[in-house]
Amino acid sequence: MDNLEYPAARRCDVVDHYFGEAVPDPYRWLEDTNSTETKDWIAQQNALTQRVLKSCLNRDAIRARTRELWNFPKAGVPFRRGVKWFQTRNSGLQNQSVLVVGDEPCGEARTLIDPNPLSDNGTVALTQLSITHDGLLVAYAVSESGSDWMTWRIRDVSTGQDLQDLVQWSKFMSVSWRRDKSGFFYAGMDQPLESGVFLDESRGRRILFHSLGTSQRQDEEVFSAPNQPDWLPSVEVSNDDRYLFLSIHRGTGVENMLLVKDLAYPDARFQPLCKDFSCKAQVVGNEGTRVLILTDRDAERQKIVELDVSRPEDPWLDVVKECEDILLEAQICGGKIVCHYLRDAQSVLKIYERNGVPSHEIAEIGSVSLTHDSTSPRSFEGDPSDSWIYFQTVSFVESGTIWRHNVDTKITEVLQRSASILDPNDYVTERVFVESQDGTKVPMFLIHGRDMVPRGDGRVLMYGYGGFNIPVTPSFSLLFASWLDSGGVVAVTNLRGGGEFGTSWHDSGRLGNKQNVFDDYCACARWLTTSGWSTPGRTAISGASNGGLLVGACITQHPELFGAAISDVGVYDMLRFDKFTVGWAWRSDYGSPNDPEQYRWLKSYSPLHNVTPGTCYPPTFVLTGDHDDRVVPGHSLKFAATLQAAQGCDRPILLRVAASVGHGLGKPVEMLIDEVVDKIVFLETAMA
């Protein structure tokens, strides 16, 4: 590709000082996405990117095939409230999924909430749901332009009409109803200044109770900790409506305090069940005063214990003991304990009696991953009084089959099969293990056509994340489907820092151990060459958010390993990540640039601060959204400007800033297709 003339980026003389070291930040002005200068620069960057990508002769064919691959019916896991069944559905190319209600799971249903008419471009999304126990009222949240900020409304299920209630300025938490429908608990924050909605720090979250039919101004404060701005509280009402459980995290750390309040006594105070941040303690359910807790205390792969809220000082009693698999979540369903485990980064459902005695494992689902849509934090649905559980399985080549299983009869049935036009029988998923720099074995999924064998010329698209105790499991994505359909190979890595293999796996990839994550990813890239699957020039890497940091660190440390790089909404400035929106919460995984030792860790791998002028970096595609209020666009803008100025060869550094798009939440289908087409065209051009 010919040398590109990049839009001019003014260099300013801003210099920060950290522990006696001067650190220039010449593109600081790009952090202000509201300024005219930044907006003009973004427009020029977008114009250059589209000019380059539209030169691809088969772009129209790629777009037509991409739309075809995504044009199939999609549905979430059905769930019952009262006598009604609820489910999210998308007919194929609707910009946003809709909520439907009917009389049976996956059956005939009427539309209850359709966010598509709420905006001209499909950028208003249905992002959270909470339905009363009797199924008569739905609290639903919508977000605009991909923002994490949510606005809650209440809809009457029978009439389909909204009540007068309106709750604004909430983030990252659903609401929890009282059983009598008198109102719900939620997490609220102060309304930010108009100029800082998408930039200013989001702190001071508190718990409030909204009484149905009243103004938000009258909401009762249930919990706040003004002297602990890093605390993130959330609450849940017990299924019997007796207790309010309060969980408090410090930022994104997995450890939490757990408190309980007896709702039978209006003046009761919260009492501690886990009074410090020494472990994870997550409520599974309760029977009277006996509460089941999922914890990693003395169990890095997690277990379930029981305690009595009336005697919180008593020892915790093991119910479901730790095993070789990783326990992710659990619910009480039909009087039994249903546990979702990971076994080698793939889902397993196990059923236990209430006393912890093993009952059975659901074997029919095979080597897949359980999934859920954005409106629910659960990967399976069930009820303490119902023996049926409902779940959906996906793989890298199978878009989603909905099942139900009876925990008493052990019968498993398919309710709705995958509708994707990609034929799973045409592909093979292998599991390989790669030796990292320090000898650690790093697992990797390798997905390719059934008849493909390593000949040294494969086009491989790698994906990784490696952070925040989040497991990377089999998933179906439009990008993966398009790449596989075009004859490419997909490699999905399970890097340290993730949640695939327990506490030690997470700890070995965070804070002072973060470099292990980048070493793991680079080792996987080298393996693709030594194994004969590819070469550096035909190996592309991709990642988003913390995975964008991964891509940025790897191309600045080892540019020779990659033929192309795609980095979405990445964290690139590791010295200023904590100054915007919720960035402060990530210190649990990254550390703080205000600490001298942690500053040295961060600067050693910070992508923005490790770009070397004159280096030949691989073709790189940096993507963000102008409304990203989680990882603010300034990260991507500054990194792209720095790479463009430093590039020592004619390989392109392209920046794409999507309008009315955030961190990825609620992205309209048409915008998703446009983005995937641009990525495929970029890869085709870069690795031609």
Instruction: Just list the catalytic residues.
Output: 545, 663
Amino acid at 450: R
Alpha-carbon gap, residue 648 to 628, rounded angstroms:
30
Q: Identify the residue whose tokens are 């003009």.
A: 40
CA 497 to chain centre: 15
Alpha-carbon gap, residue 316 to 323, rounded angstroms:
18
Give Cα separations from 375 to 320, 440, 451, 499 (angstroms): 29, 37, 39, 22
Around Cβ 537, how many Cβ atoms within 10 Å?
17
Q: Is 560 left (phi over 0), alpha (psi -120 to 50) or beta?
A: alpha
Tokens for 54? Answer: 């539209």
Q: Is 183 left (phi over 0), alpha (psi -120 to 50) or beta?
A: left
Nearest 5°: CA angle at 252, between 251 and 257?
70
User: Which residues touch 280 (CB under 8 Å, ≥6 apart)?
Assistant: 254, 255, 256, 294, 295, 296, 297, 302
Cβ atoms of residues 359 and 407 within 8 Å: yes
* Strand segments (E) across 31-106: 74-75, 79-81, 84-90, 98-102
Most distant CA pair in the chain, distance: 73
Name which of 220, 143, 161 is nearest 186 in CA terms. Answer: 220
Phi/psi for 35 (5° steps) reads -75, 150
Alpha-carbon gap, residue 566 to 625, rounded angstroms:
15
CA 48 to chain centre: 30
DSSP code at position 76 = -
